[in-house]
Amino acid sequence: MRVGRRYAMGTTKPAKAGVAGIVLVGGTGSRLFPATRVVNKHLLPVYDRPAIAFSMDVMRECDVDSLVIVCNAADEEIFQTIPAWLGYSEIDIRTVVQKEPNGIAGAIACARDCLEPEGYERIVVSLGDALYVSGSTWSREILRPADATGCAAVVAVIEHPDPKDFGIVESTASGRVVRVQEKAEVHESSQVCTGLYSFDDSVWTRLEAIVPSSRGELEMTSLLESYIHDGGLTSVTVPAEAGWFDMGTPDRLVDAAVARRRLLA
Q: What is the pTM of this model?
A: 0.90
Band the pLDDT of 198: cuts 50, 70, 90.
very high
> What integer pLDDT is reported at residue 94 of this predicted model?
96
- Measured at the CA of 84, the angle between CA 83 and CA 86, to 5 degrees, comes to 60
- Distance in angstroms (rounded) separating the CA atoms of residues 220 and 217: 9
Q: What's the whole-number average pLDDT of the chain?
A: 86
> What integer pLDDT is reported at residue 69 of this predicted model?
98
Band the pLDDT of 8: cuts 50, 70, 90.
very low
Q: Are 41 and 129 in contact (CB under 8 A)?
A: yes
- Measured at the CA of 112, the angle between CA 58 and CA 157, to 5 degrees, comes to 35
Which is higher by pLDDT, 150 or 229?
A: 229
> What integer pLDDT is reported at residue 111 of this predicted model?
97
